[in-house]
Amino acid sequence: MATVLDLKQGQSGVIKEFSDLTLPIKLLELGCLPGNTVEVVQVAPLKDPIYINVNGSHIAIRRSLALQIELEIEEDPASV
């Protein structure tokens, strides 16, 4: 299954589950929950952190945390 780390800038996906149940509570409070859409807004120049948009909240997360958020990548309607 794909993770947030597999998304390219501007690409989005729907959260399916977490590979580790120790996600920070703050992420859950900001809407990082199964069924919600995550979009990669920007990746820092050294590839860490990754800036994502979840339910209108822009969050910076480390690559190690992005690897734990499993999702289903949404296809871009323009490329289909």
**What is the gyration radius of the CA atoms in the chain, in angstroms?**
12
**pLDDT mean for each 10 residues of the chain (80 residues):** 92 87 79 92 94 92 91 72
Contact 70, 6 (CB under 8 A): no
State residue 19's pLDDT score: 74
Q: What is the largest CA-CA distance in the chain?
A: 37
Instruction: Supply the pTM of this predicted model.
Output: 0.82
SS3 2: strand
